Chain A
Amino acid sequence: DAKTTQPNSMESNEEEPVHLPCNHSTISGTDYIHWYRQLPSQGPEYVIHGLTSNVNNRMASLAIAEDRKSSTLILHRATLRDAAVYYCIPEKPRGNEKLTFGTGTRLTIIP
């Protein structure tokens, strides 16, 4: 499994963009980069994933470095509901792949 490094915590003001970084320098060529988040007292929730190109969905954007050794999850306009622990998880798709969660980044949103 690729090792990941994320800041332990970050803060952002409500309604401002948030950039959550992740280093995954040992990622293999076939690993997808998944991002999940865990809201307080809830199960993890899928946010977004990508392989090489930047990706957008209704929740967030994912910017992937050209060498794929790092990625950044972008929340364009943070709301209080986005306060959660965010995990980046490189993992090879093989049908029944497990997710290996690290300690993630605890995002606090300041009203």
Chain B
Amino acid sequence: EPEVTQTPSHQVTQMGQEVILRCVPISNHLYFYWYRQILGQKVEFLVSFYNNEISEKSEIFDDQFSVERPDGSNFTLKIRSTKLEDSAMYFCASKGHPNSIEQYFGPGTRLTVT
């Protein structure tokens, strides 16, 4: 069964450093998402991406965040200058086509900012 993959599974970085979280969505999917979950809290929407541009972003997704689909298979989330409060699980998700309902989530990347 096709699945969304994410790398790395765990990233440790120092405050102020840039990190890039990588996702490989399911092949032929058209819609891509990033969510995050701070330990013990809700899963929060960050951004959706379709047709090579951002469709919607949340208040969390400020100028420090960016997304890219560099090569037709990867979907990346970059945090330019990490803060302690960016420590969280980051989940990538993808969806097939406009009429499909199900979002497929990856296993997540645990980001720890020290």
A→B interface (CB under 8 Å): 32, 34, 38, 42-46, 49, 87, 93, 95-103
Contact = CB atoms under 8 A, between A and B. Distances in A.
B67 to A, nearest CB: 13
User: Which label, helix, strand, loop or mixed, suits the secondary structure of the B interface?
Assistant: strand
B96 to A, nearest CB: 11
Contacts of A96: 31, 48, 50, 55-56, 95
B42 A98 contact: no
Contacts, number: 54
B101 A32 contact: yes
> What 5 A-B pairs have minimum CB-CB distances, sorted nearest first?
A43-B105, A95-B98, A101-B43, A98-B45, A46-B102
Nearest to A85: B43
Nearest to A46: B102
Contacts of B103: 44, 46, 99
Interface of B: 4, 31, 33, 35, 42-45, 48, 50, 55-56, 58, 91, 93, 95, 98-99, 101-108
B40 to A, nearest CB: 10
A53 B24 CA distance: 35
A100 B91 CA distance: 14
A95 B43 CA distance: 20
A44 B105 contact: yes
B44 to A, nearest CB: 7
A99 B56 CA distance: 12
Given A38-B43, A44-B91, A98 B105 contact: no
